[in-house]
């Protein structure tokens, strides 16, 4: 109710207000490719944003390939430290258990890395 | 024809550049006119308008749908203008520190059009704040509430700024005798 009264009061313009309105009025500015230019810039920005994550992941993979290979070798070495008795029983059940264990570790690391990149 | 609100939700949810392009087509004239009147420099104003629309694209998700879209857009334009003023002021200060003489800081409203209109003369007597509020009110047709939201001023302050601006124009010119700007 109060805002309606305020709006009505605003609409009750005097002659001076109308004169100022006509003085401040100006002809519309022709577009002349302005909006097309903005649209292009927006499309370019969208494309760049979409490309950043895959490109960053690729660059990260290339950079981390050598250290990652070293890590895998080190992890493979660690499996020899586990007592054979412990490994034997599950290995009998699932023969590729050490491989699966390493795969799961790598997957978890990749997912954490991707999440960090996204953030 | 789609409403502004529909185009905004399309642009935000689908990242639809064409929908945003349509919004730019509809409102570019208002935004450019506003910035031209505010800065007095047509080229700089058009550069600022580009920055303004790119900021608007980045912040589009913050438009709540309350109030008109042009009101929100002019708020972005005014913020962009103030940011650019601050940047050029800092630049002028650095230049001064290294001993360069600069006019940039002291320059208020300088018209770079071929012909100086009555409106340019009116705008020249107003402060930057008064100019922004008067242009929003009389050139863009925004309500006091919309101006208050765009400039982050209380409604009472908006009204007194308009009153002060009118008073200045009245004191300096006989507006009844002037041609349209």
Query: Which residues does chain A have within 8 Å of residue B176's beta carbon, measured at their own beta carbons?
Result: 19
Nearest to residue B42, comparing CAs of B140, B117, B148, B142? B117
| Residues from chain B contacting residue A16 (CB–CB below 8 Å) | 166, 170, 175
> B100 falls in which pLDDT band (50, 70, 90)?
low
Task: Give the chain B residue whose CA is nearest to the CA of A43.
Answer: B17
What is the secondary structure of chain B as a DSSP string?
---HHHHHHHHHHS--HHHHHHHHHHHHHHHHHHHHHHHS-HHHHHHHHHHHHHHHHHHGGG--SSS-HHHHHHHHHHHHHHHHHHHHHHHHHHHHHTT---STTT------SSS--HHHHHHHHS-HHHHHHHIIIIIS---HHHHHHHHT--HHHHHHHHHHHHHHHHHH--GGGPPP-
pLDDT for res A87: 60
Mark yes or no for CB contact A25/B169 under 8 Å. Answer: no
Per-residue pLDDT of B132-166, as tens digits, reads: 999 999 999 899 999 999 999 999 999 999 999 98
How far apart CA B136 and CA A86 sit, in angstroms, is 78
CATH class of segment(s) B4-177: mainly alpha
Domain boundaries, chain B: 4-177
CA atoms within 13 A on the CB side of A10: 20
Best of A32, A39, A47 to disrupt the B interface (most B CBs within 10 Å) is A39
* Set of chain A residues whose Cβ sits within 8 Å of the Cβ of B28: 29, 31, 34-35, 38
Residue contact B175–A7, C-beta within 8 A: no
Long-range contacts of A29-32 (CB under 8 A, 24+ apart): A29/B28, A29/B29, A29/B32, A29/B33, A29/B36, A31/B25, A31/B28, A31/B29
Q: What is the pLDDT of residues B5-55, one digit of tens each?
A: 999 999 999 999 999 999 999 999 999 999 999 988 899 999 999 999 999
> Which carries the bigger pLDDT value, residue A18 or residue B72?
B72
DSSP conformation class of A30:
P
* 25-64 of A, contacting B, C-beta below 8 A: 25-26, 28-29, 31, 34-39, 41-43, 45-46
Q: How far apart are CA B88 and CA B80, in angstroms?
A: 12
Mind telling me how many Å the CA of A29 is from chain B's nearest CA?
Answer: 5
What's the mean pLDDT in B87-103?
Answer: 71
């Amino acid at each position: 109710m109060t805002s309606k009264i305020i709006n009505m009061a605003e609409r009750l313009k005097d002659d001076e207000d109308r004169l100022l309105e006509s003085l401040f009025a100006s002809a519309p500015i022709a577009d002349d490719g302005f909006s097309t230019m903005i649209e292009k810039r927006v499309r370019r920005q969208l494309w760049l944003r979409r490309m950043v994550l895959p490109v960053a992941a690729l660059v990260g993979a290339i950079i981390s390939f050598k250290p990652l290979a070293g890590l895998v070798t080190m992890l493979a070495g660690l499996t020899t430290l586990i007592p054979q008795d412990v490994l034997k029983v599950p290995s009998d059940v699932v023969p590729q258990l050490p491989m699966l264990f390493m795969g799961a570790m790598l997957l978890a690391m990749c997912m954490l890395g991707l999440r960090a990149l996204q953030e | 024809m789609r409403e502004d609100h529909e185009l905004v939700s399309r642009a935000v949810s689908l990242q639809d550049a064409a929908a945003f392009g349509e919004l730019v087509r509809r409102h570019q004239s208002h935004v450019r006119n506003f910035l031209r009147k505010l800065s007095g420099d047509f080229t700089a104003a058009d550069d600022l308008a580009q920055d303004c629309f790119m900021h608007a694209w980045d912040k589009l998700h913050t438009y709540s749908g309350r109030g008109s879209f042009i009101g929100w857009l002019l708020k972005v334009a005014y913020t962009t203008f103030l940011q650019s003023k601050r940047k050029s002021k800092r630049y002028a200060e650095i230049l001064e520190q290294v001993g360069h003489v600069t006019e940039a800081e002291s320059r208020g409203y300088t018209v770079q059009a071929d012909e100086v209109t009555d409106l340019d003369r009116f705008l020249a007597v107003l402060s930057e704040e008064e100019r922004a509020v008067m242009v929003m009110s009389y050139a863009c047709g925004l309500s006091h509430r919309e101006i208050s939201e765009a400039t982050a001023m209380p409604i009472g302050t908006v009204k007194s700024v308009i009153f002060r601006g009118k008073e200045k124009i009245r004191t300096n010119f006989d507006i009844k005798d002037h041609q349209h700007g």
